[in-house]
Structure 1
């Protein structure tokens, strides 16, 4: 039988047989008892400004269109954009059991810090631990109900909040969003390596801003240079799930708060890698 650890006399040798070392405590937070979330998928990026929220919402729309019950957990606490994209305003309602997410016009449940603030432009000036705790509360305190796929729009980088999401939520896989610039290889590999350290599978890569089509001749113009996504994906042995162009029509829908009307065909391949 493994011996229990006595904190008063514990040293390196005595810890070798410690039960807590052989059976480490899980850091995963408890889901709200009134929630039944089947699959949790993280959408990540190594840097900001690559369209991570756009990909999150696009995936949510497509899975909802296929008949799945879908939710979006906006974990980008200091830079939330999901409510604005869907035209969601006002305060989320709550009762003694927890907080209710708001719903988009196409039936996607959304929880974001912007649905709890006095105004959508109120800044969130919090330190890392508080940000992390807020994300955990979006899992423990929000009444998600019956959800097939919960997409987590993570903040960029590999800091406190992404770490909290990986440790606290049952992430089944992540999609990494990137752009065509040369420095992207390093940035993607940082996100990929973090997922590996957290034992979370990488489902694939999505490249945004791949090109823009000339409105006159239809030629694809590589505004940000030639794509390197295929070589990066091959080196990491993960699939490319989509290459998205710059489309002013999509940007207009975001500005109108009408993203529920978007059916993004460029990420169709991502549907096939979603866990069943």
Structure 2
């Protein structure tokens, strides 16, 4: 699944014996990834070896180990710092262009560099923050403690017999449908958030909620937690705001839906393949 790869080791802080491992770097500027266009139309290169003067860079974050190599993100503070003959690419545009390990590293790099850029000063009193060993930031004046932001969001595939609930968001194109999703609110369990979002967006009660999978979604800092649930009762009534249409669809009548870039595509594909197991 894009932005998630088990081959990467995110252990942090680094064990002492890691410190002498070979390293590589990914440049981030203004929320974009710096790539080497020499390989175009082949897979773009985002990791670079042998970068000079790394210690002089203002923003450097360890992002994980890839085999024996330690990978770091370098946050560039000026467009003039972009190495010659390299280009800026949006993270979304790298989907399908680089392998899943690289995509996971790029998504992680952008989030950690963004945290560095937006956490220099205490959000409570404005004092310059101190950096802790575990990626946290602490204000030396008021002791406010913060960590890189992760925003949990649920996404749920609702079934009624051999039908699946698909909805069209107001920002989708006219022929695109997907499943229900939304952010978890303070004080909620994930299961409560699933029930609430389905009720708010389409007016249905659901039951038998079970976990499917999760996916980091760095746009800008979400963690998508996927579920499957069964219809319990109610008639579809869209909110008309976020959701402008929703219907029950049989497997052989599905409209256009997201591909496997996102967990929504994986959930719908799972529903389609269930027919082969019956």
- Structure-1-length-normalised TM-score: 0.25
Q: Looking at CA atoms only, which structure, 1 or 2, has the larger radius of gyration?
A: 2
More strand by share: 2
More helix by share: 1
Q: Of the two structures, which has the highest relative contact order with CA contacts closer than 8 Å and spacing of 6 or more?
A: 1
